[in-house]
Structure 1
Amino acid sequence: MTNPGSIVRFRQRLWALLPSASPDHVTLRPLTGSDDETLTLYRRLIDLIGYTLPSERITPAAFPPPDADHVADAASAHLLWQAARLSLREGATPFRSLGRISIRPRTYQFVPLLMALRLDPVRLFIADDVGVGKTIEALLVARELLDRGEIGRFCVLCPPALCEQWSKELAEKFNLDAVIVRSGTVSQLERQVPPGATIYESFPVQVISIDFVKTERNRHQFLQFCPDLVIVDEAHGAAAAQGRGQQERHALVQDVARKPRRHLILLTATPHSGIEEAFRSLLGLVRPEFADWRLDALSDAQRSELARHFVQRTRRDIEQGWEAITCFPQREPQDETYELSDGYRRLFERTYQFCFEIVQTGEHLDARRRRVRSWGALSLLRCVMSSPAAAVATLASRGALVFDSDEEADFRPFVFEVTEERATDESPTPPLEATVETLPDADRRRLRDLARLARDLYGSEHDAKLRRAVELTRHLIDEGFHPILWCRYVATAEYVADQVQRDLPDGVQVACVTGRMGDEERQARIAELDADRPRVLVATDCLSEGVNLQSLFTAVVHYDLPWNPNRLEQREGRVDRYGQPAPRVRVIRFFGRDNPVDGAVLDVLLNKARTIHRTLGTYVPVPEESESVTQAVLEALFLRGRRTPGAQLTLDLGIPAVEELHRRWDRDVDRERVNRTRFAQRALKPEEVQRELEATDAVLGDPSAVRDFVLETAQRLNLPITPDPRRADVFRVSLAPDVLRALPDAIRMELPDSSSSAARRANPFWSISFISPTPEGAEYVGRNHRFVMALAQFLFEEALERSETAIARRCGAIRTHAVQETTTILLLRVRYMLEYPNAQPVLSEEVLALGYRDHGSEMHWLDHGEALSLLASARPAANMPLEEKQTILRQALARIGEWRPVQGGRWGDDHPIQSGIRQWIDRRAADLTEAHKRIRQAVALRVRGLEMTPQFPPDLLGVVVLERANTRL
């Protein structure tokens, strides 16, 4: 058996022999075709079968030489070069992952990857702002380590609602098929694994619900077979805290981190909740000693060491320091208000009077009952001001909800809005029920009267808040926006969605998503929306964290103001984020001018949060989050004396709880200002990242190369692709039936079905773009898109098969003014073995254009860039008969000589052209080795043992001869 990187013949086909993790297996990848056709064979079985079936033997082979009779021009050969390099997956570049992903990451998104490649093991804490693209940053690291052979398996631990989204991102952007592990999928997955095996050891890429695997029943098996790399999404939910669920998550991740050699990446946009101990518990997951470090008292050495593992950047950092063009949409903040109707004002005044009294009269109760009564009063007032439906759901359903817990902690999800634990969107009946138990019968009758009064306010005729929201929604749609209306309670969301659907034009789609739906139902409800029609989403905060909604929605209306500024940013971050195709998004704070609850929340929280954001460029979490917020709002509303009926409740800034909250908040702002300066990774320069990206583009092709290849190939296939006159950077691919019928099957099968929708039948075009993020309504077509892969594979295979109709051909000859003497250009595909210490070798490839001018006893060699430039720009200056072209090519091929596998010694030593090629490739291998070492410079062991070894001979893909225009044979 030959060495990895060699060419072999098996089953009447040529294959590249790949490194295998086991000596008992042989891994083969076809020289033409897709990676899906890669085979892993059992060595002994193949040897046994090969005795009787010659086609089943694996035998050494050589790449077929070009045929001088199958000749065209330089442009055809250049197209072959494009097809060959766009077919590469294991690119011989420092960033191996770019050969297999389907997106074009921005420069700033490579910073965590550079950090990771300088760590051993990789322990990263990525705390970039909401919407920056932390998912892409983490998966770039995972894909890179996987493609380098440094990990064999990895998993993502995330909240259950985000499992489908992670699976989709892995498949669509990183070409990785992941299984989802949670309660509803385990049985099906277990049926797919061998007897005695577990799902955790059987699937290379897994997306796991952290709430499923944290339990005592599941965690031990997961930890026993935990993969090499673990990514923890929404990591703030795994900080050490008092809540039982969060504590279980922290214990799980702590056990994951306990293995010293395991790679670990933590992701969160809100790393610091204002509780120093919780934040340090997250740092301790990265390295145990970090848990004992105080960020306000770090030494220079500690700060430098922490900066190797921790990155935290605002959008302002990115836009000002990393990107020449904007990466994010323009956010248009706006305040819109309404006034309470007379009926609603009466409901508020009677509700406020009731709540004020029960808070005041509860002063004689024990501390626990006093707190619960305050919570009940605050929750009731908030429900009433959310919507009549929420008020009725809370007041009329008392006794219908079975809730027998007497633990204070069990009331918390109904009262507080925290980012570590998901707040429920159900009506806060439990704290109100606990409150009512301590009230006399007369007060209970008052609650029933309030329910009747609220029921009479249903509909936009009586509910000015709802009426104004419908107007805003209509205006947004008229301006071309697709809004999300965020509500606090399920009852409010369903009530608003019903009225919006009733009042808006028939063509507008309205979807309602709440926490009562399962994750799959939520995804299905959103997926049902037609991207070609106006649409509105009414949702509760079950969707406000981690979910990507930017492809369908472009505006946010806070129908109910959140009582946590972090939640405000999370909601807006669903649309205002990396990948938003629209150039601008609208975000609207919607509140009542005479709604006292809104007034208190604005004064206590949201106005200050906005000021901080304008100053710092990011939101800073409220200190200790909802408990301090709730106490401040409670004192603002109830504990500073009775407000007169009809008067606006404004905040008295002398309230002690509010002053203390703001003091601690200001302190945290100062801390964040310092931290974001220290950990924005400004030591890494954009030009440093750009240098490595340009080296990768030279091997694999950048987006402009993909565009040029697709457009030129489509033109030769008579497939019309024209610029969209309405949208910049968008092209329209014709899907007309007569056009499709004329295409080769391999190309036609990768185009969308023009009969799949009425809209496409009426307008049979496929909108595409070659830039990322992609303009709205277009599909991104990058080097790994199925259409590009089909074009490249079709051209390459046709050229190798010497088809008479081949668009690209392996030989070319022209007379041109681009050269002053005869120049021969060789298209070479070179394979290298990339070796690391303690890691399986991996195969790397690149396609090179090398040129030479034969001066008899001396060869003058052109470098890759000069040869490629000639290949791309040389144009015929005179006709050359076919017979003359064939004669020139036969002479050139004879001069190059026959390429034989190495039989001892060094390939090409006894041949001037082959020797020059070998020397050039050796130098290229040395340069590639240095490039790989450069990005791994902080990992001394791996740098010392890293080596790129070229495999000879290279594949001779094509030969082009350029003759001076006035030369005669």
Structure 2
Amino acid sequence: MAARKPHKTPDSSAPAQTSVLAPVPTTPTVASVLAVLSAGRLLDLCRLLGCDVRELSAPKDRLLARLADHLGKRLPTLLRELGRDELRAVCRRHGLDPSARARSDLQALLLEAAGLDPKASTVRPPAQSPDGLPTKGQIVHARHRQWLVEDVALGTGNESPLVRLVCLDDDDPGRPIDVLWDLELGARIVAPETHGLGDAPRLDPPAHFGAYLHALKWSAVSAADATRFQAPFRAGIKLMAHQLTPLMKALELPRANLFIADDVGLGKTIEAGLVLQELLLRQQASFVLIVCPASVCLQWQGEMQRRFGLRFEVMTRQFVGYRRQEHGFGTNPWSTHNRFIVSHALLRRPEYRDPLLHHLGERARKGLLILDEAHVAAPASASKYATDTDITRTIRDLAPRFDNRLFLSATPHNGHSNSFSALLEILDPVRFTRGVPVEGKKDLDPIMVRRLKRDLRQLGVERFPRRLLVQLALSNKGGSWRLAQTSYDAETGEEGKAATSDLGAGQPVELLLGEKLQRYTELCAPASGQGRFPFIHLQQRLLSSPEAFARSIEAHAQGLAKKGGPVAAPQQQKLTLDLEADPETHGLSDEAVAEESAAAVRHASASLPSPTEEGRALLAEMRALAEKARREPDAKALALLAWMREHLCPAIGLGEDKRASRKWSPRRVIIFTEYADTKRYLVELLAAAVAWTEDGEQRIMQFHGGMGDEARDEVQRAFNSAPDAHPVRILVATDAAREGVNLQAHCADLFHIDIPWNPARMEQRNGRIDRTLQPAPEVRCHYFIYPERAEDQVLETAVRKIATVQRELGSLGAVLLGQIEAALENGITSKSRATIEKVGAGAKTATVDTELEAQRTDLAALRAENERAGRRLENSRRTLEVEPDALRGVVEIGLTLAGAPTLKDAGKTSDGRPTYELPPLDRSWDVTLDTLRPPRGRTEEFWEWRKKPPLPVTFHPLASLSEGAEQLHLSHPFVKRILDRFLAQGFSAHDLSRVTAVVAPGESVVRVIGYGRLTLFGTGAARLHDQLVPLAAAWSGDAASIKPYKDRATAVMAISSTEKLLASGARAPNATITKRIRENAETLFRALWPHLEAEADALAVEARQGLAERARREANDLRDLLLRQRSAIDKAEARLRQADLFELQDKEQKRQVDLDLRHLDRRRAAAASELETEPAAIEALYEVRMSRLTPVGLVVAFPESMT
């Protein structure tokens, strides 16, 4: 290689420690080369080359001197670590020609200029083992897959060597196996430079090769590039801008320890799913555990399967039984799958928790814990200092075993600073320490996402429904009922216009019963204790319906009649615990709950003193009134029927009157009640009212406890289906439906027949329709009161207070709602209203505002985060070329390769997007197609269900939950099967020759594009970087002497224009040209391969530098964190030791303070150790163990004028 001879200068013999400011010599030296680099790059080289630099913030000249002294005269060693652009900069600095493309050419130029022999300085690859054994780091082919050799253990005597392998294939990355090499049939060492593309018996159609390229591009990820998203394109969701922020933050963290604290209904499940999907794609998560309330276990399972194509198993007694039947009684059920969902209650049980901890060991490699409703793990207390609970200790023991942790909660702060810091310590013990106060935005910004609906509404980035609370006040004058309707905005408190209407004649039986019950309670109820239970229960039931009250007053009377009999303890608590352990039971049946309730009233009433004479008279009067009232519609029912006549069907409740229209509007409504008796009363009344309307018998459905999974799903699907697809308009539900179901697709109206004394239940009910993907601009949540009844005045105060607390007190609202529940738990008395009005009046919100809410008060910062995430999504879309039309093209070509016809048009979705009908496929596709069939009915036989055709498919996000189509995305099982076939080309599949030719209009020369795939692997064959390496060259004659373009702009244009032709389905050349290309394909690719290797080498070094830079940045940030934490620990310890904290009267709180002090001592010692180990562990995450370049394919673009 000819090199420009350097001129000697006075500085040419300067020592390696030459200052940065000294004149640059013409002859390259270690010091002069280092002078070209930045201080950050010098730090990376110090770490890479083993040069100890303790002062990380040292100035550049000191770093340069230290590294130059460490390297001495090892210039070749230094040059081998520099990237192409760095080598070019060094060449320019020394007056050398920087135009060469290959790093090896630039290195040789610099070595010659330094008077060194490039050949003597080249590191040769290790020689092949003489006995044919693979060596560590090589690639082998075995069992139709590609494997990385992790280790080779030589056998003794006649024993075969044991080779430890890790799978490299896209469809099963990271799976380890051990093989006996001599006994493994067909095993061989893979050398891409010798195998190349192999023979090309035919050319692929351009569209087929284009689909193959798309599949490869869509599978490329890089740990160095935290800005490139993959998960949004692998999810069947209508993506909202705010849902990308958690994903963006998670990718910026070395370990995904993230707290998603968004408001209720903003889609935290989807946000967590996006992070989960991205971590799986980047091979940073292998064992995943979701811990959530029992009521939403199946909802999580369904969302992960339907939205992300991820199968989770729900841990239950039944699951354990099935696994032991399949694998043996001694099998640990946690070892039978890698993705599980378990309820909070079940996790506390040793028989489930202990096998899990045993399976995880000290730390689960690449584990991910998702904790839903994470606030349950925070230490809790109603007074000054929060103390640990059982679930706190359980999660604290479990969480450290996972590398990655996602916590989800809309109410993460309970008002206790030590509780909040303890919860955050469980999430990330390096950043936070129990007892050390959190310093708001500065501490939380990297690891927390906190937005309320009103924040996003102010930003105008999303459209969320406005929630109206509609008060329906019922009053009776002169034997006639009158309705006064008042609505107010739940967010602003602004009241709308009031309206009044007459409901018709009716006796005020509810009011009379209320007066009599109040007097009866004064006469007969004890002042406190268990004896008040029957009276509280009667009060609750009267506030629900006359039917519910009638059932309970009879049970009470029966108990009094059996006075003196044995009193058995109710069994309801035990049954409830059993329910939590098995989510698929969805609660006791309505009948069982009602019987438990009646039995409890009878037993408690039997232990009461005999009523006075007045009491007995009142009891008799109430029984008579209730028996009469239970058979007639009460005022609530009259108001409900009037609303339904106005909004659903004019003929409701009018019998055979033919003057009113019997047709139904598309509107739907949910009616919630706490009691099965009230539900039954409403269903019977409504069934009679709609009997004479069109399809009246199909208009009402029920949702109740004890329903199986299939029954719940059937109701949910029917109610969410389009109004013209299913006639149901009214859903009557107990609180079994308050969690775990989404009912917002075509419903924006909800009625509370009774107001729960547990305020959280009312919010959960409202959340069935007030949530993401609600298409209506507003939702209306109605509730009833009788202004003339004292108990209703208290409940109205409670409803208003709930709205105020949630609007003004944010996360602290959950604690205050508990205070409202506590004010009602002993029954509504004359003091209850004043007690509820005081809730929150003296709330000390400063701690919550400082430690949590400061995270979301800066709207400009929230807007900037949203915009930054949006830009990253668009950049990712452009880079990956993920578009609906491109995906449809790949699917159609995949079907063609499978021997099936292409897709057929099947109409449009509700927002005008095209849908397609899948062609008939052979039986090997049955299991895959099951994911596209309509859900199986409860009574439907499996084989009958499987005969049903798949739903139409679309490649666009669905506008609503009720679309009769399925969205195909990159992780849908159907699409994955097709993509896996493309990714296996050249390995386990050979449908494609991986050579194609395309006619290029407007071109004048024949262009050849060779493709390789560069992959950098870390520990355990984890993919740290993956990209396609294209190389363009002009082919003018001799295939063996082809050389790539030197001009970068020309090369980029050639690649871009050729790929556009492939994507547009351009035609192939004629048979003569095709034959010539086919005959020369192997020679062309072999000639390009050394240049591809050189290009890949340059890109690999750039990627390594990116990984090293991220490792350095994150390790340095971690060091700073640990140093700040040591200081914060000292301050926290001093605060806890103050005397006023030891004036706590509660022994448990004193004990907790003592435990926290001891924990601070341990944490201080641990932080000192972590300063040495944790930054190194972060750096190890990005350490490249091996790089690999594999042949991908060859494209020849032939000018149209030459065909």
Partners of 2:929 and 2:825 lie apart in 1 by 61
8 Å Cα contact 2:995-2:1195 kept in structure 1: yes
Larger deviation, residues 332-341 vs 171-180: 332-341
Are residues 147 and 658 of structure 1, via their aligned partners in 2, closer, same or farther at CA, if it must alter by over 3 Å? same
- Does 2:1021 correspond to 1:815? no
CA shift for structure 1 position 314: 0.9
Partner of 2:442: 304
CA shift for structure 1 position 117: 5.2
Return the match for 1:15 from 146, 163, 169: 146
State the one-letter code of the partner of 2:1190: P
Return the match for 2:682 from 496, 505, 510: 496
Larger deviation, residues 429-438 vs 503-512: 429-438
Partner of 1:824: 1008
Partner of 1:621: 813
CA shift for structure 1 position 889: 6.0
Partners of 2:342 and 2:1067 lie apart in 1 by 65
State the one-letter code of the partner of 2:671: L
Question: What secondary structure is seen at the aligned counterpart in 2 of 1:230?
Answer: strand
Return the match for 1:390 from 540, 548, 563: 548
CA shift for structure 1 position 959: 1.3
8 Å Cα contact 1:145-1:151 kept in structure 2: yes
Partners of 1:408 and 1:275 lie apart in 2 by 33
CA shift for structure 1 position 73: 6.4
Partners of 1:201 and 1:767 lie apart in 2 by 35
Are residues 134 and 711 of structure 1, via their aligned partners in 2, closer, same or farther at CA, if it must alter by over 3 Å? same
8 Å Cα contact 2:241-2:869 kept in structure 1: yes
Question: What secondary structure is seen at the aligned counterpart in 1 of 2:1000?
Answer: strand
- Does 2:702 correspond to 1:512? yes
Partner of 1:904: none
1:367-516 → structure 2 map (5 Å cutoff): 367-368=528-529, 373=532, 377-398=535-556, 404=568, 426=593, 430=600, 434=604, 437-438=608-609, 440-442=611-613, 443-444=615-616, 446-458=618-630, 462-470=633-641, 472=643, 475=647, 478-504=664-690, 505-506=695-696, 508=698, 510-516=700-706
1:557-568 → structure 2 map (5 Å cutoff): 557-563=751-757, 565-568=759-762
Partner of 2:1192: 956
Give % identity. 20
8 Å Cα contact 2:264-2:771 kept in structure 1: yes
Partners of 1:254 and 1:444 lie apart in 2 by 56
Partner of 2:914: 731
Partner of 1:779: 966
State the one-letter code of the partner of 1:871: E
Question: What secondary structure is seen at the aligned counterpart in 1 of 2:770?
Answer: coil
Return the match for 1:156 from 279, 285, 290: 290
8 Å Cα contact 1:284-1:290 kept in structure 2: yes
- Does 2:435 correspond to 1:292? yes
CA shift for structure 1 position 502: 4.7
CA shift for structure 1 position 162: 2.3
Partner of 1:349: 511
8 Å Cα contact 2:410-2:811 kept in structure 1: no
8 Å Cα contact 1:730-1:767 kept in structure 2: no
Partners of 1:392 and 1:466 lie apart in 2 by 16
CA shift for structure 1 position 386: 1.2
- Does 2:211 correspond to 1:211? no
Q: Say which one has the larger Rg.
A: 2
Superposed CA deviations along residues 598-628 of structure 1, whole A, max 9, x for unmatched, are 8525641333444566678x78626543444
Partner of 2:1060: 872
8 Å Cα contact 2:720-2:962 kept in structure 1: no
Partner of 1:709: 889
Larger deviation, residues 90-99 vs 942-951: 90-99
Larger deviation, residues 450-459 vs 84-93: 84-93
State the one-letter code of the partner of 1:485: I
1:76-155 → structure 2 map (5 Å cutoff): 76-86=208-218, 94=226, 98=231, 101-103=234-236, 106-116=240-250, 123-145=257-279, 148=282, 150=284, 152-155=286-289
State the one-letter code of the partner of 2:882: D
Are residues 548 and 673 of structure 1, via their aligned partners in 2, closer, same or farther at CA, if it must alter by over 3 Å? farther
Partners of 1:501 and 1:221 lie apart in 2 by 51
Question: What secondary structure is seen at the aligned counterpart in 2 of 1:512?
Answer: strand
1:913-932 → structure 2 map (5 Å cutoff): 914-920=1093-1099, 922-923=1101-1102, 926-927=1105-1106
Partners of 2:840 and 2:935 lie apart in 1 by 60
CA shift for structure 1 position 780: 2.0
Are residues 506 and 462 of structure 1, via their aligned partners in 2, closer, same or farther at CA, if it must alter by over 3 Å? closer
Partners of 2:528 and 2:278 lie apart in 1 by 55
Residue segments in structure 2 that go unaligned for 5+ positions in a row: 1-132, 154-161, 482-504, 560-565, 578-585, 650-663, 938-943, 1037-1041, 1119-1174
Partner of 1:643: none
CA RMSD of aligned residues (A): 5.3
TM-score after normalising by structure 2: 0.63
State the one-letter code of the partner of 2:210: H
Partners of 2:958 and 2:700 lie apart in 1 by 29
Partner of 2:394: 252
State the one-letter code of the partner of 1:639: S
Are residues 555 and 6 of structure 1, via their aligned partners in 2, closer, same or farther at CA, if it must alter by over 3 Å? farther
8 Å Cα contact 1:729-1:770 kept in structure 2: no
State the one-letter code of the partner of 1:230: L
CA shift for structure 1 position 766: 1.2
8 Å Cα contact 1:849-1:864 kept in structure 2: no
Superposed CA deviations along residues 666-688 of structure 1, whole A, max 9, x for unmatched, are x5599559833325794782344
Superposed CA deviations along residues 67-124 of structure 1, whole A, max 9, x for unmatched, are 6663366555323322443466999964687399544565533444454556676554
Superposed CA deviations along residues 400-433 of structure 1, whole A, max 9, x for unmatched, are 79974599999x99xxxxxxxx999956665797
Return the match for 1:841 from 1007, 1015, 1022: 1022
8 Å Cα contact 2:145-2:167 kept in structure 1: no
Partners of 1:112 and 1:620 lie apart in 2 by 23
Partners of 1:775 and 1:525 lie apart in 2 by 14
CA shift for structure 1 position 143: 4.8
CA shift for structure 1 position 576: 2.9
8 Å Cα contact 1:490-1:515 kept in structure 2: no
CA shift for structure 1 position 471: 5.3
8 Å Cα contact 1:833-1:949 kept in structure 2: yes
Are residues 595 and 485 of structure 1, via their aligned partners in 2, closer, same or farther at CA, if it must alter by over 3 Å? farther
Partner of 2:869: 689
State the one-letter code of the partner of 2:1197: V
Count matched residues.
Answer: 899
Partner of 1:49: 183
- Does 2:1046 correspond to 1:859? yes
Partners of 2:249 and 2:1067 lie apart in 1 by 54
Superposed CA deviations along residues 425-472 of structure 1, whole A, max 9, x for unmatched, are 95666579757825615425533542442233345x533322443554
State the one-letter code of the partner of 2:779: R
Are residues 958 and 589 of structure 1, via their aligned partners in 2, closer, same or farther at CA, if it must alter by over 3 Å? farther
Partner of 1:236: 375
8 Å Cα contact 2:414-2:420 kept in structure 1: yes
8 Å Cα contact 1:485-1:559 kept in structure 2: yes
Partner of 2:835: 657
Partners of 1:431 and 1:281 lie apart in 2 by 42
Partners of 1:534 and 1:932 lie apart in 2 by 59
Are residues 476 and 951 of structure 1, via their aligned partners in 2, closer, same or farther at CA, if it must alter by over 3 Å? farther
Question: What secondary structure is seen at the aligned counterpart in 2 of 1:396?
Answer: helix
Are residues 511 and 25 of structure 1, via their aligned partners in 2, closer, same or farther at CA, if it must alter by over 3 Å? farther
Superposed CA deviations along residues 686-723 of structure 1, whole A, max 9, x for unmatched, are 34434554565456553546545358759987645548
CA shift for structure 1 position 883: 0.9
8 Å Cα contact 2:1013-2:1189 kept in structure 1: no
Partner of 2:452: 314
Residue segments in structure 1 that go unaligned for 5+ positions in a row: 414-421, 641-650, 900-907
Larger deviation, residues 621-630 vs 759-768: 759-768
Are residues 231 and 606 of structure 1, via their aligned partners in 2, closer, same or farther at CA, if it must alter by over 3 Å? same
8 Å Cα contact 1:331-1:586 kept in structure 2: yes
CA shift for structure 1 position 782: 0.8
Partners of 1:719 and 1:197 lie apart in 2 by 45
State the one-letter code of the partner of 1:631: A
Larger relative contact order (Cα-Cα within 8 Å, sequence gap ≥ 6): 1
Partners of 1:534 and 1:631 lie apart in 2 by 43
Partner of 2:1072: 883
Superposed CA deviations along residues 185-237 of structure 1, whole A, max 9, x for unmatched, are 33333444566553345543222232123245554454444555433322334
